[in-house]
Amino acid sequence: MQRVRARGIGVGVVMVLAAAVGVIAGQAVPPPPLTAVLSRAATYVERFADRVSGIVVAEAYQQDVFLPINRFGGRPNQRTYNGPLHRELLSDLLLVRPVGADGWMQFRDVTEVDGRKLKDRNDRLARLFLDPSKNTAAQSRKIMEESARYNIGDIERNINLPVLALAVLDRRMQHGFEFSYAPADEKIALPKRPAFAAPADALVVSFRETQLRTMVASPQGKNLPTSGHFWLDRSSSRIAMTEIGIDDLWLKAQIFVAYGLVDGIDMPVPVEMFERYENKLNGTRVEGSATYSNFREFTVAVDEDIAPIDNKGKQVR
């Protein structure tokens, strides 16, 4: 079982790289300065965090495992993975910024697995915030571990969360990444789903993680640098789509998220996620897709009732 996890977030200043050109009305027009684009994006992420903190959203999530094919075109006689090949999850996803925390957290509370409702889960999210006798880090780890155990495949993971990539644009995080405009001829293999049609006039910004302590790590503490792309509005840096991935000796992972407008919220929010993981050691692949609906305010006063994270800033595990 291969494993990958997210970990605490640091702070810092901006480092940026060079430029590309766009085409408007048949003429090559240079894009805005990347420093300005990233500064606007950081402001947008701050507004997003304030707006969605305490929002609960319904998540419908499907996962599929694809076993490797041998050289004769069939499946191997000896399966390296013996678990389920398909899974359907219904969950409540909560986005919240706890008191005393620099960042904001995502909690997935699985309510139904393959059509079977889970027992003893009523108001579990409410209890998390109404009973702050334990610190939030310990409580959040518990609920994350409970939810992650329903993932299928031989790659254990807790990074399959829709707003993970936004941490890269956080003003305090940008110093740990190199940014550039994506070359005009770069081929980015987007998910073949309608929600992932990139806006024609979007600025495509690439990033690559350079900090020593990376956002994502193995349970043994091995750093797993991330890279990916953002599709941003040219004038406002409003987010249309994100991609964050890992390409290590044993793992290749990609998580795409499409943003759109929904009733009751005045800025784009995640509407669909697509993920792909490849275990390079045995050729097993996992794909997942999730859609988001029924955005509503969480009924608990989370800003008053949640305890701060621990002094190490840990969010999961």
pLDDT per position as a tens digit, 51-61: 888 889 999 99
Q: How far apart are CA 42 and CA 44, in angstroms?
A: 5
Mark out the alpha helices in 78-177 (DSSP H runs).
Answer: 124-130, 136-148, 166-169
- At 165-224, the pLDDT tens digits run 999 999 999 999 999 999 988 999 999 999 999 888 899 999 999 999 999 988 788 999
Q: Is 16 or 72 the better-scoring residue by pLDDT?
A: 72
Average pLDDT over residues 65-87: 73
Per-residue confidence at 303, pLDDT binned at 50, 70, 90?
A: very low
pLDDT at 104: 62
Buried b (16+ CB within 10 A) or exposed e, 263-293: eeeeebbbbbbbbbbbbeeeebbbbbbbbbe
Which range, of 219-228, 287-296, 307-316, averages the lowest pLDDT? 307-316
Q: Read off the DSSP letter of residue 301.
A: -
Q: How far apart are CA 217 and CA 5, in angstroms?
A: 5
Neighbours of 187 (CB within 10 A): 6
- At 22-37, the pLDDT tens digits run 444 444 578 899 999 9
Dihedral sign from CA coordinates of 184, 186, 189, 190:
negative
- What average pLDDT is seen over the chain? 80
pLDDT at 52: 86
E strands in the chain? 2-6, 22-24, 27-29, 55-66, 86-96, 105-113, 116-117, 155-157, 177-181, 203-209, 216-217, 226-232, 239-247, 251-262, 265-279, 285-297
pLDDT at 221: 86
pLDDT at 146: 72
Q: How far apart are CA 187 and CA 247, in angstroms?
A: 17
Residue 72 has pLDDT above 90, yes or no: no
Yes or no: say if 41 and 202 are a contact pair by the CB < 8 Å rule. Answer: no
pLDDT at 173: 93
Residue 313 has pLDDT above 70, yes or no: no
pTM of the full structure: 0.82
SS3 183: coil
Percentage of the residues of the chain whose pLDDT score is greater than 90? 49
Per-residue confidence at 290, pLDDT binned at 50, 70, 90?
A: very high
Which range, of 37-41, 141-145, 187-191, averages the lowest pLDDT? 141-145
Per-residue confidence at 127, pLDDT binned at 50, 70, 90?
A: low
Yes or no: say if 115 and 103 are a contact pair by the CB < 8 Å rule. Answer: no
Residue 90 has pLDDT above 70, yes or no: yes
Percentage of the residues of the chain whose pLDDT score is greater than 70? 72
